[in-house]
Amino acid sequence: MGRGSFGSIFSGTRLTNGVPVAIKCVPRDRIHRWGELPNGARAPLEIVLLDKVSTGFCGMIQLLEWFELPSCFLLVLEHPERCQDLFHFIMARGFLPEEEARGLFRQVLEAVQHCSSCGVLHRDIKPGNILIDLATGQVKLIDFGCGTFVQDTVYTQFAGTPSYSPPEWTHLKCYHSKAAAIWSLGILLYQMVCGKHLFRRGQDIIWSQLKFPQRLSQECQDVISWCLSMHSLDRPSLEDLFYDPWLQDVHLP
């Protein structure tokens, strides 16, 4: 189904109930970060983080089980029968109408809020890591290979996609979890409604000016501009976004 820097994804069927699943194979030599499960077992950090967020919340990909093999770890994940990642969902349409983007974006906010409540920071929020169940319209956040635990102090190591990194990382080589997540959400929303990535390289973050198509409402433009404030303290919190007028009265699946 796909291949990334941390492993390969295969489609499969769970023998116990015939349900389709995704199987992520992560070679042991690519695992550099480990953690501890509630039962005290040592496991790759991705498994530990997925175990924390896989609590039945519908906006999160569920870790069904995992296996340790001599050369790799296998993660068995839920996989809706009819689904598409948000990147290809946008590409197929050119861009998303504002009303559709608003409903999907709010679901992503719910997923990020759930991660935060579990003490988990995803660190790689982008269209390719958001799955849409085409039958229900339900969004699911996937791929915690870059994730870590939430901390109040600054992070001095970056993990994720460089073109989604906040300007404070480009300038100062450090960032706070909440402000960095909001920055990536701003880029995500821009991609949804404009159909293209705002920043291609880290240096573009310093010089680019926000440009919007005329069809976008001022309220939508304001949300994106707020999330992409150059100074981290000027960005909204998740709670601010939930109460923003543009995100009110959203119909969720």
Residues 176 and 181: their CA atoms lie apart, in Å, by 9
Decide if 236 contacts 226 (C-beta within 8 A): yes
46 is in an annotated binding site: no
Q: Look at the block and give the residue holding tokens 């404009």.
A: 194
The alpha carbon of 21 is separated from its chain's Cα centroid by a whole number of angstroms, namely 20
Residues 101 and 97: their CA atoms lie apart, in Å, by 6
Residues 164 and 184: their CA atoms lie apart, in Å, by 6
Phi, psi for 211 (deg, rounded to 5): -130, 130
Considering 51, 124, 133, 143, which one is annotated as catalytic?
A: 124
140 is in an annotated binding site: no
Find the helix or strand (DSSP H, E) in which 73 lies. Answer: strand 72-78
Please report how many Cα atoms fall inside a 13 Å half-sphere around the Cα of residue 43, on the Cβ side.
Answer: 21
110 is in an annotated binding site: no
Decide if 241 contacts 222 (C-beta within 8 A): no
Phi, psi for 27 (deg, rounded to 5): -60, 140
Residues 120 and 148: their CA atoms lie apart, in Å, by 6
Amino acid at 146: C
- Active-site residue flag, 124: yes
User: b or e along 171-197 (b: 16 or more beta carbons within 10 Å of the residue's beta carbon)?
Assistant: eeeebbbbbbbbbbbbbbbbbbbbeeb
Q: Which residues are annotated as a binding site for ATP?
A: 24, 78, 85
Enumerate the active-site residues: 124
